[in-house]
């Protein structure tokens, strides 16, 4: 019996670790699973925990309003160390590129516990973009023992950094496993405002923004573009679940309030969000996870960033990097909203990120690592 500590704390890392926790828990004779929530996010974490019915064994309740990266890092490493000392797990699992991810792997390293990194190998090769995530994931790769790369591109990036190929596995991204759990045909939304919006039978443009490198002017430019679009297309509803980071929340409300067809709403729980996504016409976002989910439904995505560590869907044509320039965002979105041919060209359901089996592969690899099995791992290959 091996003890696996799964560490998570924000909305995206929890969504993407949920399928792995579910798979690990099926193997009761092999694994004891300890779930540790740093709660780097509070409300947005709880929304995910409820959807996947996860009751963490430990909840560090770290989040402070307007927390600084340094404070967050310090509080998280101290609190995690106490738990790792007490629980002495045989492996720690972390996901992605948040402070919880990096600090979780660092705390494990200090206790000489091997780390498995889910969604390893994403790179822009620009230290400040995304900030601080590019460095968080590089530091995590340096520490990790097992690297669960979502795509071949990610695997190659890790190899380039001299990480041994025998410890890197292309699993696909667990984000698609999570989607398959949450998206339902006859879904009824828990937020009644959404039912009302949908009952208007108008096209929906779904929006999200939160990235630190976009704070200030860049994000203001994106909001202005959205405002112009909303004014030009009164028959389209723009639904914007606004991230709880006060910097983001204040800026978005300042720029987009009081428009009849722009709905600034609280973050949606994961099921409401992805089911709304499945009914959307266009997505405008700076989110990493949303960039991976949209292509699953064949919904065109305009990404409010200048670089992306997720080049696959850009290559396939479902995702366009539009940057943060107000005029550029406006004109590209306008073209898509008014020209069916351009829209159709982008709206093809391709799935470069996963096939719903990423968590199964991840757990098979962990079983092999501990000698419970010698399974041949059938790596993820995308189908066009």
Q: Which residues are catalytic?
A: 97, 119, 133, 210, 212, 243
Min separation Cβ 184 and ligand UDP, Å: 15
Closest by Cα among 85, 46, 48, 50 to 63: 46
Nearer to ligand UDP, 181 or 268 (CB): 268
DSSP state for residue 377 in the 8-state scheme? P
Q: Which does 72 bind (CB under 5 to 8 A by kind): ligand UDP, ligand UD1, none?
A: ligand UD1
Interaction site with ligand UD1 (CB under 6 A): 10-12, 40-44, 63-67, 69, 72, 97-99, 132-133, 210, 244-246
Cis amide linkage into residue 32, ω under 30° from 0: no
Per-residue contact flags (x/-) with ligand UDP for residues 207 to 236, judged by CB under 6 A: -x-x--------------------------
Min separation Cβ 155 and ligand UD1, Å: 22
- 240 is a contact residue toward ligand UDP (CB under 6 A): no
Q: Do 9 and 54 meet the contact criterion of CB atoms below 8 Å apart? A: no
Q: What whole-number distance in Å separates Cα of residue 262 and Cα of residue 39? A: 30
- 268 is a contact residue toward ligand UDP (CB under 6 A): yes
Q: Do 149 and 168 meet the contact criterion of CB atoms below 8 Å apart? A: yes
Q: What is the full DSSP assignment across 263-325?
A: EEEPPPPHHHHHHHHHT-SEEEE--HHHHHHHHHHT--EEE-SS--S--HHHHHTSEEE--S-
Q: Which does 231 bind (CB under 5 to 8 A by kind): ligand UDP, ligand UD1, none?
A: none
Cis amide linkage into residue 130, ω under 30° from 0: yes
Q: What whole-number distance in Å separates Cα of residue 249 and Cα of residue 237? A: 20
Q: Which stretch binds ligand UDP (CB under 6 A): 61-69, 191-199, 267-275, 305-313?
A: 267-275
Min separation Cβ 13 and ligand UD1, Å: 8
Quick one: tokens of 306?
Answer: 């200048």
- 238 is a contact residue toward ligand UDP (CB under 6 A): no
Binding site for ligand UDP (CB under 6 A): 11-12, 15, 175, 208, 210, 241, 267-268, 270, 273-274, 287-290, 293
């Amino acid at each position: 019996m091996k003890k696996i500590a799964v560490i998570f704390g924000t909305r995206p890392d929890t969504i993407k670790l949920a399928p792995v926790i579910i798979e690990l828990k099926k193997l009761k004779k092999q694994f004891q699973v300890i779930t540790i929530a740093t709660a780097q996010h509070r409300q947005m974490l709880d929304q995910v925990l409820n959807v996947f019915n996860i009751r963490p064994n430990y909840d560090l309740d770290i989040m402070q309003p307007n927390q600084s990266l340094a404070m967050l890092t310090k509080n998280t490493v101290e609190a995690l160390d106490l738990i790792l000392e007490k629980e002495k797990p045989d492996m720690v699992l972390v996901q992605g590129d948040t402070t919880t991810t990096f600090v979780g792997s660092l705390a494990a390293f200090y206790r000489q516990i091997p780390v498995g990194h889910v969604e390893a190998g994403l790179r822009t090769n620009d230290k400040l973009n995304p900030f601080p995530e590019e460095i968080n994931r590089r530091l995590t790769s340096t520490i990790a023992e097992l690297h669960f790369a979502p795509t071949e591109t990610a695997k190659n990036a890790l190899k380039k950094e001299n990480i041994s190929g025998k410890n890197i596995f292309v699993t696909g991204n667990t984000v698609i496993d999570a989607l398959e759990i949450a998206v339902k045909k006859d879904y009824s939304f828990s937020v009644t405002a959404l039912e009302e919006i949908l009952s208007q039978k108008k096209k929906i443009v779904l929006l999200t923004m939160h990235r630190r490198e976009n704070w200030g002017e860049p994000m203001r430019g994106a909001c202005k573009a959205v405002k112009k679009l909303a004014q030009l297309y009164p028959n389209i509803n723009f639904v914007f679940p606004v991230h709880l980071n006060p910097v983001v929340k204040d800026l978005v409300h300042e720029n987009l309030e009081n428009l009849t067809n722009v709905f600034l709403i609280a973050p949606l729980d994961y099921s409401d969000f992805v089911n709304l996504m499945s009914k959307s016409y266009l997505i405008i976002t700076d989110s990493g996870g949303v960039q991976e989910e949209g292509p699953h439904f064949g919904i065109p995505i305009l990404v409010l960033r200048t670089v992306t560590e997720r080049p696959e869907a850009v290559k396939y044509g479902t995702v366009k990097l539009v940057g943060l320039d107000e005029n550029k965002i406006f004109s590209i979105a306008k073209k898509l909203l008014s020209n069916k041919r351009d829209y159709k060209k982008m709206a093809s359901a391709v799935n470069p990120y996963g096939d719903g089996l990423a968590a199964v592969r991840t757990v098979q690899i962990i079983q092999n690592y501990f000698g419970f099995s010698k399974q041949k791992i059938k790596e993820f290959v995308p189908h066009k």
